[in-house]
Chains A and B, each alone.
Chain A
Amino acid sequence: MIVLDNVTKRYPGSQDALSNASFSIEQGEMVYVTGHSGAGKSTLLKLIATIERPSNGTVLINNQNVSKLRESALPYIRRKFGLVFQDHKLLYDRNCYHNVALPLAINGITGADAAKRIRAALDKVGLLHKEKVMPITLSGGEQQRLAIARAVVSRPSILIADEPTGNLDKNYADDILKLFGAFQQVGVTVIIATHDVLASANQTHKILHLDHGRLTYQQVTADE
């Protein structure tokens, strides 16, 4: 469970990237963070993923106040999240298999157990046949899916994706969103930032709309 209470984030020398945001996300929810570019979507995601700390207010992750945690405790909180970055942040010096292996290595999982999980993650995103391929040779959509495989391999309870469909054409984008939907259906909390209109979102979901750092829109739609 994620709770933000009156959270403000200000970067030095600029106005508030996020001001007085309050909301909560329950376990297993599908959440879209929308808004124009520069509205503070990425900042919001970074605050949830404990990559940034709030300038003001409290961020609670599973009832733990992140703002009060020591720097050295943050890595362990971050491991609860699966992150899909806007620019993928894939490592181009190693093949797909070893890209997905990174979070497991950080968690201290190697060997046969790791191999099984890596192949399962690659299979889930449809890249099992490309495990030995270098990521630079993959298409944009495939790279995005590889990034998702890396995000889910350590079985996080919360999946966070920043503009996962940003540079993809509609077919690819739909595939990716379906993939996230599948994770949500097995109980993973999914938080996606997007500036697209949500065409394929036909599950119950929550929308957090940001405008110049202000959370202006918050609703739950349940279209059956």
Chain B
Amino acid sequence: MNSWLMHHTQALKLVIRRFKDNLFSNLFIALTIAVSLALPMIVYLVLSSFSGLVSTIKSDSHLSLFLKSDATPTMIDSIHNTLATRESIKQFHFISKEDALQQLIADNNNQDLISSLTENPLPDAFFIEPAALDSAAIQQLKDELTQLDGIENVQVDDAWLKRLGYLLALGKKALFVLAMLLSFALFTVISNTIRMQILTQQEEIEVSQLIGATHRFIRRPFLYSGAIYGLIGALFALMITSIVIRLFNLSVSTLAAEYQTDFSLLLPNTDVFIITCITAIAIGLISAYIVVSKSLYKSIN
């Protein structure tokens, strides 16, 4: 155990020293890795910002239940009772046609138009906030309510939300593809870097093998090297992402203010950071392992 730990610290020290020796070029390699990581990270954050927006708006979304103009108070009461017993309804309120007219008069400046009305054209209405937010459940609720006695029309005001939802689903697929392609890029960058390192240390590897170094001993520093490229790349990626998102947010919040919301893009949180680090380190380790194993296999034959 002790010698195991010693071998590892020894390899790590060696790798850090070599990293420092070529600090400038190594930082550039890490930056290349960072860009590959930052792109999917930014796309992910933008998408999840919009998903958050969709769910907050959805909680505002409601069904409007317009009654037939000849609906009697008994019918209204019976609908009221039906709505009160439904679990799929979070809350609802009733606005009578008189109240609606009063509100219209209060909101509207064109008093002439209103005073010219001979009778109240507005229907009685229930406004319902559903408990479930997914569109299938809302659609089902709508179908059920339409069949009630005295209902003229049920309106669901989530058509544009649906479209945004589809767009986001498409965006998520695009993100997946982007992440896949860029992991290949990452893999290539790290493999090539490690391959170059192997070439410059070919003699050392050869001599070490001749005097009794195990494959693990030879592989170890390169694995650390791959992992460190991944880690530093992830840290740079976090920096790049934070800067880019902050830059976007300057404009986004101005735009959002026009729509009376305080929407802004999310900054990377701990989860995003940890996942990015783990992914980058894993890709670094795997590519280093493959490249070194290939070169060890070659040197035997």
A interface residues, Cβ below 8 angstroms from B = 49, 51, 71-72, 75-79, 81, 83, 85, 89, 91, 93, 102-103, 105-108, 110
Contacts and interface: CB of A to CB of B under 8 A. Distances in A.
9 contacts: A75-B209, A75-B215, A78-B210, A89-B203, A91-B204, A106-B208, A106-B211, A108-B6, A108-B7
Contacts of B203: 89, 91
Contacts of B211: 78-79, 81, 83, 102-103, 106
B interface, by DSSP: helix, strand, loop or mixed? helix
A218 B160 CA distance: 96
Nearest to B206: A89
A103 B207 CA distance: 9
A51 B210 contact: yes
Nearest to A74: B212
Contact of A79 (B3, B7, B207, B212): B212
A75 to B, nearest CB: 5
A interface, by DSSP: helix, strand, loop or mixed? mixed
A91 B207 contact: yes
Contact of A110 (B10, B207, B212, B214): B10
Interface of B: 3, 6-7, 10, 203-204, 206-215, 217, 300
By CB atoms of chain A within 10 A, which of B3, B10, B207, B300 has the most?
B207
By CB atoms of chain B within 10 A, which of A75, A76, A91, A102 has the most?
A75
A83 B214 contact: no
Contacts of B214: 72, 75-76
B215 A72 contact: yes
B207 A75 contact: no
Contacts of B209: 75
A76 B206 contact: no
A77 B300 CA distance: 16
By CB atoms of chain B within 10 A, which of A77, A79, A105 has the most?
A105
